[in-house]
Amino acid sequence: MSTQLEQVLKKQQQQQKAPLETDIENIIQLVGFMVGDEEFAVPILGIQEIIKPIEYTRVPKTPPYVLGVFNLRGSVLPLIDLRMKFGLSRSKENEDTRYMVIKHNDEIAGFVIDRLTQAMRIPESAIDPAPETIHDEQNLIYGVGKQEEKLVSILNVEALLKRDF
Amino acid sequence: MDEFQEILEDFLIEAFEMIEQLDNDLIELENSPEDLDLLNRIFRVAHTIKGSSSFLNFDVLTHLTHHMEDVLNKARRGELVITPEVMDVVLESTDHMKALLEHIKETGSDEGALDVGPTVERLEAVLKGEAPKEAEEAPAAAAEPEPEPAEEEPDLSEMSEEEIEAEIERLLQERQEEDRKRREAKRKAEAAEVKPAESSGEPDLSDMSEEEIEAEIERLLKERQEEDRKKREAKRKAQEEAKAKAAQPREAKETAKSAPPATPKQKPQTKAAAPKERKASVEQTIRVDVKRLDDLMNLIGELVLGKNRLLKIYDDVEERYEGEQFLEELNQVVSSISLVTTDLQIAVMKTRMLPIGKVFNKFPRMVRDLSRELHKEIELVISGEETELDKSIVEEIGDPLVHIIRNSCDHGIETPEERVAKGKPAKGTVQLKAYNEGNHIIIEIVDDGKGLDPDMLKAKAMEKGLISEKEADQMSDKEAFMLIFKPGFSTAAKVTNVSGRGVGMDVVKSNIEKLNGIIEVDSEMDKGTTLKLKIPLTLAIIQSLLVSVQEEYYAVPLASVLETVRITPDEIQSVEGRSVLRLRDEVLPLVHLADIFDVERVFKMGEHAYVVIIGLAESKLGVIVDSLVGQEEIVIKSLGEYLKGIEGIAGATIRGDGRVTLIVDVGALMNMAKSVKSTLQNLESQEAVREKNSPADYNILIVDDSKTDRTIMRKALEPLGISITEATNGVEALNIMKDGSKSFDAALVDIEMPRMDGYTLASEIRKFNKFKQVPLIAVTSRTSRSDRLRGVEVGMTEYITKPYTPEYLMNVVARNINLDAEQRS
């Protein structure tokens, strides 16, 4: 019994220690999601909330990827389809679809994503700048985060919220 | 430091308030230089600011106001005549004073703001020659009235102990009263805010300690008894008595002065100060931070949205639970809440209201300066300055009015010679009027100048390439007047620094339109010009007309809606490739809102079209919409940074059902309409009819919120071998259908479902051209006649009541999708 307890305590201590060690390095917390077949992520601090799809109103004279505006508890926010923004076909709404409300300073907008994947912690050292071969005028990609077996594109929140029309 | 900051803030608020009044007083003074009241008022402002600024160590400001004070003091005592030249100097120093105060406000110091040296010299020059410089405190001393005791003294010797006691009391009170009166008189003379530091320098009864007062009473009493005894002994009459009376107050004053000031905060003093305060604040007011009012207004906005939502829900509930007991109660609550909300909204709106006089105040001065600069004689007549409107509008309206009045003075009013030659009085008049009209405030600027010449305006506009010759020919006089609001249009032959820089009037127009306002111009040659501004009382909450275009609703500010008409398509005529509508004796350009906004037309066009006639300034436009939804009070919300500035959209609002509705920008709409060609032909959607070879090519949509029901239907239809898609409510079903990835041959629709019920779904589906023929089969346990009738009304094809046999359902579906018996195999 006591040995069990000890083991548990030890385990806890180890767990507590572990993050402390890595904290010395800057760790970025990200929320991963799918748009099309690719996984993207944005820093968790840039996300205000994630909601299930609700009704939106189309706004004329805007590019196709601006789906319209929606009502988030009394605020009118723009809704942007990330698939279309990335040049893919328009999202088909299903039960995994989410609106991700992203905020940077005073600018705020909802983005349609296909599916949430996971929350992740990536040390800054494991994030490479976006490869130069990616022709990216809008600077949408902040960097590429390396995880054990896959790569994830980290989006630049500021650029996402920048109006380009 | 904080305390200083607080004093400084108080000082600034006070100073700005006084200055606001000052300009007007000064102008008035020029017209009636004899008005002593006015002079005193002006003098007091200078004096107060001087006093406070020296206390706060603003040396430059003190220096300037000190000299102003001197000049004004002289005028006040009739030693100086206020000539326009003197006035110029005084006004100039007032301007400097303002500038210095602004500088203090921004930097906290008055140093380095500007050089007041020359102005002070001029002030001194005005002073010189007539009389030597006066002592600055002179007015205060001179105005101090001598206390004059007049009451009869009662004979002390004939009094009892109590009576003497009472007499002492009375005397003391009298003295205090006198003291207080004197203090007040002095304060009045100085007209400065009561500064405790100032008044405490003069010791009086109130400054004495209990013992000292006791001693004083003792002494006075003895004195009086002594006197009385002498009086009785000598039997001397009136002369003697009069002397005693005269001596007493003087002595009292002396003793009071000799007494050292002890505890300064005692009751009598506060008592003495209180009456004055009460007098000053007949209107009880408190200062409130504007931000708090704004927050309050936002909250009210939310409340109004909530109210709208509640009303909408009540409507739904009423429909569904007709005749139930609780409906009546609900109705009462809903109506009382909506009533209170409306009252609350009005009340809060009123707290934000300011009299337009706040803006008008600065114009007399401006017109005066202008008339001197332009060598014209102009009188500004202001009326309706008490008319109130929202603070945010008061702030915005100032600049446009400045431009308009400048224009009237510069371009409108002629020189005195010209005017006399035309047989008009040499002095021109500019009238500034404000009055209420419904939910709007009207501001009129009327001048009796030379008026606008439509032909000249047209010629000028053509010369500048603003309009074509053809446009000019078609233009009415009124339209020609509106040319003055075109960017880059200036009618002044010579450019002065007053106006005529080619900016101004177009800015005026856009500013007024920003406030949802309308400008009208009327003019007659040599008679004058009238500009009429029509501005809503408040900005945040407006009345709007809701219209629907395809799937969306739009809100049109009701202020811009002139009328709505219903027309048949044959009434739409085409002129030069554009659609027009003949309405009574007018021909209006006509556009479809969907064309302006490039909204895809998926709905059929009915046999009627609704036209909303919108008007802005002189131009009118007929906007075709699919239907009129109704009038609603809406709260304007911004679309945010990302979407701001979209042409034609002024903002958004959240409606009762929680949906976002866009608010149309009428001004922009007018412009956009010009580039829309006639596209009023009906666009039939060309859906390719796919060949159906096997039953699996048939698609059926099952809409029901119950999983069991869906499964029963699915099972029942399985033998047919057709493809089945399921949806759990109306919204989902509608989205699946609109999505277009599958085309459905029929839909089985339950009536009672969350989010959107079957009736609504049916009517939504029927709005689409391409779904007009899709069979809709209601499957429900609602069996009453009215339910069935309603089903037919909204476009249901069949009505199946639960429970049903699987065969029956199968047969109905098969019949509706024309599934051949042979295909069913």
What range does the domain containing B71 cover? 2-143
Q: Are the C-beta atoms of B497 and B472 separated by less than 8 Å? A: no
Q: Is residue A149 situated within a structural domain?
A: yes
Is the predicted pLDDT of residue B343 greater than 70, yes or no?
A: yes
Is the predicted pLDDT of residue B796 greater than 50, yes or no?
A: yes
Q: Half-sphere exposure of A53 toward its Cβ, with a 13 Å CA cutoff?
A: 22
Q: From the candidates B554, B660, B676, which should be mutated to test the interface with A, based on the most A CB atoms within 10 A? A: B660
| pLDDT of amino acid B261 | 44
Per mean pLDDT, which of B159-173, B195-209, B514-528 is the most reliable? Answer: B514-528
Smallest CA–CA distance from A55 into chain B, residue: B659
Burial of A77 (0-12, 13-18, 19+ CB in 10 A): buried
Residue B466: CB atoms within 10 Å? 16
Can you tell me the distance from the alpha carbon of A98 to that of A32, in angstroms, rounded to the nearest whole number?
12
Element (H, E) at B263: none
Q: Is residue B72 situated within a structural domain?
A: yes
SS3 A160: helix
Q: Does B671 touch chain A (CB under 8 A)?
A: no
Return the closest-CA partner of residue B555 out of B623, B640, B641: B623
Scored b (16 or more CB within 10 A) or e, B757-766 reads bbbbbbebbb
| pLDDT of amino acid B476 | 81
Q: Distance from A115 to chain B by nearest Cα, in Å? A: 19
Is the predicted pLDDT of residue B138 greater than 50, yes or no?
A: no
Q: How close are the terminal C-alpha atoms of chain A, in Å?
A: 67
| pLDDT of amino acid B545 | 92
For residues B785 and B642, membership in a common domain is answered with no
Q: Distance from A12 to chain B by nearest Cα, in Å? A: 46
Can you tell me the distance from the alpha carbon of B706 to that of B752, in angstroms, rounded to the nearest whole number?
10
Can you tell me the distance from the alpha carbon of B814 to that of B798, in angstroms, rounded to the nearest whole number?
12
What range does the domain containing A149 cover? 25-160
| Residue with token string 């919220």 | A161
| pLDDT of amino acid A111 | 92
Catalytic residue among B308, B407, B729, B816: B407
For residues B363 and B339, membership in a common domain is answered with no
For residues B360 and B331, membership in a common domain is answered with no
Q: Which of A58, A61, A107 sits opposite B648 (nearest CB)?
A: A61
DSSP-derived letter for residue B132 is: P
Total H helices, total E strands in chain B: 30, 23
Dig out the tokens for B182 from the structure: 């004197």
Structure-model confidence comparison of residues B203 and B337, the more confident one: B337
Smallest CA–CA distance from B635 into chain A, residue: A74
Return the closest-CA partner of residue B487 out of B471, B508, B469: B508
For residues B11 and B87, membership in a common domain is answered with yes
For residues B406 and B261, membership in a common domain is answered with no
| Mean pLDDT (chain A, rounded) | 81
Question: Residue B710 belongs to a domain with what CATH number?
Answer: 3.40.50.2300
pLDDT digits (tens, 9 = 90+) for B613-635: 988 766 788 888 888 888 888 88
pLDDT digits (tens, 9 = 90+) for B390-415: 888 888 888 888 888 888 888 888 88
Q: B234, B249, B280: which is the final residue of a domain?
A: B280
Is the predicted pLDDT of residue A76 greater than 70, yes or no?
A: yes
For residues B508 and B369, membership in a common domain is answered with yes
Total H helices, total E strands in chain A: 3, 12
How many domains are contained in chain B? 6
Question: Residue A108 belongs to a domain with what CATH number?
Answer: 2.40.50.180
Element (H, E) at B465: none
pLDDT digits (tens, 9 = 90+) for B430-476: 999 998 876 678 899 998 888 888 888 888 888 877 788 887 887 88
Cis peptide bond prior to B803, omega within 30° of 0: yes
Told to judge if B407 belongs to the known catalytic residues of this protein, a careful annotator would answer yes
SS3 B283: coil
Can you tell me the distance from the alpha carbon of B774 to that of B251, in angstroms, rounded to the nearest whole number?
110
Give the pairing of strands B378-383 and A47-51: unpaired
Q: Does B720 touch chain A (CB under 8 A)?
A: no
| Mean pLDDT (chain B, rounded) | 75
Q: Which of residues 67-86 of A touch B (CB under 8 A)?
A: 68-71, 74-78
Is the predicted pLDDT of residue B358 greater than 80, yes or no?
A: yes
Q: B324, B352, B380: which is the final residue of a domain?
A: B352
pLDDT band at residue B336 using 50, 70 and 90 as cut-offs: very high
Dig out the tokens for B662 from the structure: 């866009």
| pLDDT of amino acid B278 | 41
Q: Is residue B681 situated within a structural domain?
A: no
- E-assigned strands of B69-125? none
Give the pairing of strands B353-355 and B572-575: unpaired
For residues B309 and B207, membership in a common domain is answered with no
Question: With an 8 Å Cβ cutoff, are B552 and A75 in contact?
Answer: no
Q: Is residue B190 situated within a structural domain?
A: yes
Q: B253, B280, B307: which is the final residue of a domain?
A: B280
Cβ neighbors of B131 (< 8 A, separation 6 or more) are B74, B79
pLDDT digits (tens, 9 = 90+) for A18-67: 555 455 668 888 899 988 888 889 989 889 899 988 889 888 888 888 88
Q: Is residue B683 situated within a structural domain?
A: no
For residues B270 and B306, membership in a common domain is answered with no
For residues B364 and B346, membership in a common domain is answered with no
How many domains are contained in chain A? 1
Helices within B573-685 (DSSP H only) = 593-596, 640-643, 666-674
pLDDT digits (tens, 9 = 90+) for B711-738: 888 888 888 888 888 888 888 888 888 7
pLDDT digits (tens, 9 = 90+) for B66-79: 888 888 777 777 77
pLDDT digits (tens, 9 = 90+) for B271-323: 444 444 444 445 677 888 878 887 888 788 888 888 888 888 888 888 888 77
Is the predicted pLDDT of residue B766 greater than 60, yes or no?
A: yes
